[in-house]
Chains A and B, each alone.
Chain A
Amino acid sequence: MYFIRRILFAIPLLLVISVLAFALMHLAPGSPFDTERKPASPIVEENIRAKYHADEPVWKQYGEYLNGLLHGDFGASLKYQNHSVNDIIAQGLPVSMLLGGLAFCIAMGVGIPLGFLTAARRGGWQDYAGSFVALLTVCVPSFVIAPFMILIFAMKLKWLPVGLWITPWHMIMPSITLGAYFVGKVARILREGMLDAAQSEFVTAARAKGLGENALLLKHVLRIALLPVVSYSGPMLADLLTGSFVVENIFQIPGIGVFLVNSCLNLDSTVVVGLSLLYAILLIGLNLLVDFAYTLLDPRVKYE
């Protein structure tokens, strides 16, 4: 019941988001149809605008847009005139999803052990070193990490390709760069969670029962400490899946992230609105999934 209600609530939410994105884009100065070369006569300009219904009042444009949405049509890109927003999503989303998925695996695969280690050896040198590394990955911007990785692994050592998205080899550096930031995030969240959990009453009780320290950490503390990580993973995945502009841009990857940023700069409003909706849908869906995972992980949690 709870989940059905959440899904129903998502519909007005999406509507509001589409209105908001639509309105914001129409506030923008300039038009997506301006180019280096000016049309010879004003009538050409008018015709371009008429073709995309840009000459009609905004509410009418929105109505037409909504009508298209109901038929599963996100509209045509104003910048890439031969492509529709559906085309852009169909081409970009699988790439971004793969990249995001790989980065997610790295974030979890490295972040959780790192967080565990720092919490288990609290106060020791492992804690200091590990926490420092975790914080460092959060503080160094990805547009600094990426060029250095390219310089070392692609240009000097010639181990990996510089960019493009063709074979698994091409995916290594982008996934690491994209995942790095979240490695730090996950490790920090897990560490905090474990330190909190270690103080909780039932862990003290378990310790009193004479359970070994390692078993205690693995069996009880980690279990509880994973919950905040799980709840963070929803928004994290949404961010990862819609791609990262920086990583896609630097490694020349044909994903969604580049469009998300460029379409804003190009005032390509249909693409902006379409991709914003896509992002919202992903976020809502993933948060639902997270809540569902919660019920599996933590039997105490119940949604009425």
Chain B
Amino acid sequence: MNDPEHLSPGRRAWQRFQKNRLARWSAWYLVLLLAVVIAWPLLLKIAGGDFARLHGPDELSDAQFAPPSFQHWFGTDLHGRDLFSRVVFGAQISLLVGVFGALVSLVIGVSWGAIAGYVGGRLDGVLMRIVDVLYSLPTVVFIIVIVTTLGERLKESSIVQHSPAAAGALRIVLLFVGLGAVSWLTMARIIRGQVLSLRSRAFVEASRALGAGTPRILLRHIIPNILGVAITYTALTLPAIILYESFLSYLALGVQPPMASWGTLISEGVSQINPIRIYWWLIVFPGAVLVATLLALNFLGDGLRDAWDIKAK
């Protein structure tokens, strides 16, 4: 009895999604990546001793620029640090920034767009004009100013001054706040459009005619129906944010050394592309992992969109 007409939208999407081979593989790749990212630091901690010293992401050694070998699977960098470990720890940062950035954009975008679309009228006008203004500011300027200005201001605050952990995490928090803050605009516009069209749909009108209150309508009708759009665009925002983070790292605005993200590793790698001598592993491994992850995330996003059957606006 698999008649798709009888299934909930979520169920139907899941079935369609499973048929999409690329998206399924991408999902598996991402699961694998996550597993490595979580397991590797644990392994280092458990194994300890020589193993940790050999592979620790911040352990300097005399093996400068060692090519990939049995000991160092991805080779080493100028300081003799194990590149595999750095890529894995970089993944932590990059994915963290990507996921939280996408979440920031999800939360702001959905609430902003939903309120504007549902309440409508003057408030809608004001909210959307704000989006227009932010849209017209160059993204680069906005992010740089947020990351540097806000960062330095917060650094001076007493909370950060007294807690080393807060100081260390500050840059990452700033990164995803900054990146999230510029990527919610599109989300807000799309959600508002969806809500607007939903509001005038027959079943919502009917429900309202039957005396349903605003919260009920929002919960029962609006939110389930924009869920697919929201999830899909979040999935598509994620790779965009990771890519943007790598661009910021290229500008040396990324995480603070000796921490590294994929972006910092890649920009370190490309800075030594030259006709005389290339330590190829410095660019190939971080680059390949980044591109593979972005591809996977995009395939996944596309798969989700096809599954939810969302039309380009």
List the interface of chain A (C-beta within 8 A of B): 13, 16-17, 20-21, 24-25, 27-30, 135-136, 138-141, 143-144, 147-148, 150-151, 155-156, 189, 192-193, 196, 228, 242, 245-246, 260-261, 264-265, 272, 275-276, 279-280, 283-284
Contact = CB atoms under 8 A, between A and B. Distances in A.
A28 B149 contact: yes
B174 interface: no
Given A13-B132, A276-B138, A280-B136, A141 B295 contact: no
Contact of B312 (A13, A144, A189): A189
Contact of A17 (B136, B156, B246, B247): B136
B138 A242 contact: yes
B283 A28 contact: no
B251 interface: yes
A235 B188 CA distance: 17
B144 A280 contact: no
Contacts of B291: 136, 139-140
A143 B133 contact: no
Interface residues of B, number: 38
A225 to B, nearest CB: 10
B275 interface: yes
B153 A29 contact: yes
Given A143-B247, A144-B283, A196-B311, A276 B266 contact: no
Nearest to B273: A147
B141 A264 contact: yes
B298 A28 contact: no
Interface in B2-32: none
A264 B137 contact: no
Contacts of B295: 135-136, 139
Contacts of B140: 245, 260-261, 264
A283 B138 CA distance: 10
B243 A139 contact: yes
B189 to A, nearest CB: 12
Interface in B151-206: 152-153, 156
Nearest to B156: A29
B239 interface: yes
Contacts of B298: 135, 138-139
A150 B239 CA distance: 26
B137 A17 contact: yes
A29 B239 CA distance: 31
B65 interface: no
Given A148-B273, A196-B312, A261-B140, 15 more contacts: A16-B133, A20-B133, A24-B149, A27-B145, A28-B148, A135-B299, A140-B287, A140-B291, A141-B243, A141-B247, A143-B266, A155-B275, A260-B140, A272-B145, A284-B136
